[in-house]
Amino acid sequence: MKKEISFMPIDYDYFDWQGRNYVKIIGRDDKGKRVCIVDSYEPYFWAIFKQDTSERKIRELQQKIGKIKIEQVGRTTIVEKTELHDKKFLGRDVKALKIFITNYKDAHAIADKIDFPEIEARREYDLSLITKYIIDKKLVPLTWHKISGEILERDYGGIAESLDCDVCIKVEHIEKADSIIFEPKILAFDIEADEFEIGKGEILMISLVSKNFKKVLTWTRIPKTPDFVEVCKDEADMIERFVKYVKKQNADMLVGYFSDGFDLPYLRARAEKLKVKLSLGLDGSQPTFARGRITSARISGIAHVDLLRFIETVYSQYMQSETLGLNEVAREFLGEGKKDFEHKHSTRLKEQEWLNYFEYNLQDSVLTYKLAEKFWPDMLELCNIIQEPLFELTRDGMSQLVESYIIHHLKEYNEIAEKRPLHDEIEERRRRGRYEGAFVLQPIPGLYENVVMFDFTSMYSSVIVTYNLSRSTFLGYKKTGKEANEAELSEGKVYFTKQPGFFPMMLEDMIEKRKKYKAEYKQDPSPVKRARSNAYKLLANACYGYQGFFGARYYCREAAAATASLARKSILATIDKIKAAGYQVIYSDTDSIAFLRGNKNKQEVLSFLKKLNSELPGIMELELEDFYARGIWVTKRTGEFGAKKKYALITEDGKLKIRGFETVRRDWCNLARELQNEVLLRILKEGNEKSALSYTKKIIQELKARKVGKEDIVIRTQLKKPISEYKAITPHVIAAKKMEEMGLPVDVGMLVQYFVAETRETKKLVREKVKLPEEKGEYDINYYLEHQIVPAVENIFEIFGIKKDELLGKSQKKLLEF
DNA sequence: GACTGAACTATACC
DNA sequence: ACGGGTATAGTTCAGTC
């Protein structure tokens, strides 16, 4: 029976049937029905001929290649047909053979057989089948399509019968459809267990939250169970009921927080031990765990999203939170955190504590659900733009996002995709070492009035576009006859053609779209418009890093180094122009310049900015970051030179912008951070140091009088590797060791907390005085004075000629007082 | 045992 | 291995006298 439906593709998978590849996509129709579509796919890859290969030779090889056959166990793969095409490869015109094969799994093996001397390269056999399918059939993830085809019942080994779907269709025709709002069914979940080590303890409870559904499953019996709690027979029964609820909820997305690394591996381990099936997949399959840098848990037919991984790549660089834990992240994005609960072993929990535990567990899922809703527009837009499925997209790092975007847009340039570098090549690239990066101007320490900050909009991206810097436009280290863009590197000059390359063109397109959607968003602020604008911004900003990344298909060290070089040249020239116009330049870092307005008014500064812009090449653009009432730059701890990457500014309406100071560093205690923040605020607001000084003295007195609470003297430092791998045993390593001895969970990536305590004997090393916050002991007044408080404010007061002794209340005359 | 510079470590800026 | 380089600063380590 024929059928035509609207289709929103969500989860992509493929299978083999009679030796051939088929793609199976789960999604929704416009009535909310769950739909599975099955489509055939004709896999192929490319063989590129060397420039001077004769037509006769090409035909001869085409014949030979057409007869290639590979016998595998239970499968024979043959070259089905070949087509000769005029294509581009790294910007060059090439003749390439499109080689169709019967099974993509053998693409690599067949490519290996095509090792004729006339073949320059074999490409695109290392792309995933799903990626190639999306490119060729234009079935873009999370975009509405019109699909027509035959309803499937018993074909392909009974795939339709075993699937929990409303309808299954064998695709005959795909076309794009008008976009209508799609609200995915989101189901969030979270587990609680006694032990942190995967599978070691029992799972005590599992919470599930979707739009109108909240539940906690447990097997603990307490006298009065709240309505949202469902008591199961035992742990095994609880896991089985969890699976049932997931099925019943009929979700498009199953969302967890660190669920790739904790919840799903834990569930798998317990299910295995208890001999129950964790059949979460729509086809009844159990989650599969793909090993990568981080293991990913895939559930067939449902997009499992681990929000933590998406947040790490997409949001973390713009976030205020000091950790990416659910509590802080939820507080930042939702204004609501986790429930308070003191973790104890389940055997020691009292009745009321169980009630709190259930609520705590439920709240984690509630937060995860709300975050998923909040981030949905971003996931949707990125899927549409990058064209990779949600599961992959939410796990990709920045370079992979850029690379996927490139690969899905190459056809607009008739380009064949470059291969992924192999291990040896990556090693070689890494051996080439670093190249010179950004320019940072050393500031002259002081308190300044009327500071102006200019910065270049997306500087590195606009340099890449303006000077056409990329792998395929790179001409080499020697000047050829033609006119070319040049850049000076430490190893010599490099040249890039002026003939536009696909990489800079794609980037220019991203920048234009970002501008367009940003303007649209300002006109009509909606989460979708914001998400679209942000997605292009994210991608555009990552393109520079991509070209310098040794794992990239389109890696080009020269292009990356030239980008940094031309950016340096550009900002230095701009600094000179600002100076020549009579302004005093205070500071500059990479793409920003701070200078004093002096006796000029704001309008004059703005028209000067306009003039500067008219002189900039290509798409480079300088903009006003802001006007500031005051700004402060300090010296380095050692020496009298100005410290780079460390300053504080205040706008005319009193908003602080603090960079680099201890205040913004999480590895300093709150006491020092809050004091420094207050000191900076007072000085910048009042224009002098007087009240800041008395405030500092007050805090020092409180410290000396032991009036400071423990929470303000705790130092938090991240454990970046396993304890055993540390060469230097630092205070935070000692704290981690102590935690381990006490049986507390110690994981790589965690923030270790400790304070420096007073000891009877005078100890030389800080680490000998380390205590955990829960340990008894008084803080070491001298340590906090000399190593936290004084260093945090010393350099600031030094600007006013105030020395350390005066801060500490010791008699000392101000040197600069006359 | 005190001193000193190098090494190691964490974190921030853009 | 899973974007780049630039920069500050604390603590320990290893060598010297």
Nearest Cα neighbor of A41 from A20, A11, A27 is A20
Q: What is d(CA A9, CA A144) in angstroms, rounded to the nearest whole number?
A: 8
Distance A47 CA to C2 C1' (A): 28
Q: What is the pLDDT of residue A162?
A: 82
In sequence order, the 6+-apart residues with CB closer than 8 A to the CB of A380 are: A142, A182, A528, A531
Chain C bases near protein Cβ (<7 Å):
1-13
Average confidence (pLDDT) over A708-734: 95
Could you identify the residue whose CA is nearest to the C1' atom of nucleotide C10?
Answer: A787
Distance A800 CA to B6 C1' (A): 34
For A220-243, the pLDDT digits (tens) are 999 989 999 999 999 999 999 999
Q: What is the largest CA-CA distance in chain A?
A: 98
> Letter for the amino acid at A117?
P
Residues near strand B (C-beta below 7 A) are: A 317, 322, 438, 455, 589-592, 645, 658-660, 664-667, 716-721, 725-728, 730, 732, 751, 764
Could you identify the residue whose CA is nearest to the C1' atom of nucleotide B11?
Answer: A665
Distance A463 CA to B9 C1' (A): 34
> Letter for the amino acid at A331?
R
Q: How many CB atoms lie within 10 A of CB A605?
A: 21
Q: E strand or H helix at A176, and its extent? A: strand A167-176
Q: What is d(CA A130, CA A677) in angstroms, rounded to the nearest whole number?
A: 51
Supply the DSSP string of A623-644, one letter for each residue.
Answer: EEEEEEEEEEEEE-SSSSSEEE
For A58-94, the pLDDT digits (tens) are 999 999 999 999 998 888 999 999 999 999 999 999 9
Q: What is the pLDDT of residue A157?
A: 81
Q: What is the pLDDT of residue A108?
A: 95
Q: What is the pLDDT of residue A818?
A: 36
For A147-202, the pLDDT digits (tens) are 999 998 888 888 888 888 999 999 999 999 998 999 999 999 999 999 989 999 99
* pLDDT cut 90: percent of chain A above it: 92
Strand C contact with A729 (CB < 7 A): yes
Q: What is d(CA A40, CA A479) in angstroms, rounded to the nearest whole number?
A: 50
Query: Pairing mode, if any, of strands A296-298 and A119-123?
Result: unpaired
Average confidence (pLDDT) over A625-640: 94
Left (φ > 0), alpha (ψ -120 to 50) or beta: where does A800 sit? alpha
Average confidence (pLDDT) over A557-571: 98
Question: At residue A598, does pLDDT exceed 50?
Answer: yes
In sign, the C-alpha dihedral spanning A488, A493, A494, A497 is: positive
Distance A761 CA to C17 C1' (A): 27
For A677-718, the pLDDT digits (tens) are 999 999 999 999 999 999 999 999 999 999 999 999 999 999
DSSP annotation of A789: I
Q: Give residue numbers, 375 to 414 of A, with CB < 7 Å from strand C.
A: 397-400
Distance A276 CA to B12 C1' (A): 48
For A764-797, the pLDDT digits (tens) are 899 999 999 999 999 999 999 999 999 999 999 9
Reduced to 3 states (helix: H, G, I; strand: E, B; else coil), residue A149 is strand
Question: At residue A813, does pLDDT exceed 70?
Answer: no
User: Which of A516-520, A594-598, A687-691, A762-766 is least confident?
Assistant: A762-766
pLDDT bin (cut points 50, 70, 90) of residue A481 is confident
Q: Give residue numbers, 608 to 637 of A, with CB < 7 Å from strand C.
A: 636-637
Reduced to 3 states (helix: H, G, I; strand: E, B; else coil), residue A410 is helix
For A13-33, the pLDDT digits (tens) are 999 999 999 999 999 999 999
Question: At residue A811, does pLDDT exceed 60?
Answer: no
Sheet order of strands, A253-256 included: A229-231, A213-218, A203-210, A186-193, A253-256, A303-306
Average confidence (pLDDT) over A422-436: 94
Q: What is the pLDDT of residue A814?
A: 46
Question: At residue A38, does pLDDT exceed 90?
Answer: yes
Question: At residue A132, does pLDDT exceed 80?
Answer: yes
Could you identify the residue whose CA is nearest to the C1' atom of nucleotide B13?
Answer: A645
Which nucleotide lies nearest residue A398, CA to C1'?
C3
For A662-676, the pLDDT digits (tens) are 999 999 999 999 999
Q: Give residue numbers, 479 to 518 of A, with CB < 7 Å from strand C.
A: none
Q: What is the pLDDT of residue A809?
A: 80
Angle ∠(A7,A13,A17) on CA atoms, nearest 5: 110
Chain B bases near protein Cβ (<7 Å):
2, 7-14
Query: Residue A49 corresponds to which tokens in the numbers above?
Result: 């001929």
Distance A428 CA to C1 C1' (A): 13
HEC profile of A309-376: HHHHHHCHHHCCCCCCCHHHHHHHHHCCCCCCCCCCCHHHCCHHHHHHHHHHHHHHHHHHHHHHHHHH
Q: What is d(CA A712, CA A758) in angstroms, rounded to the nearest whole number?
A: 16
> Has this prediction a pTM greater than 0.85?
yes
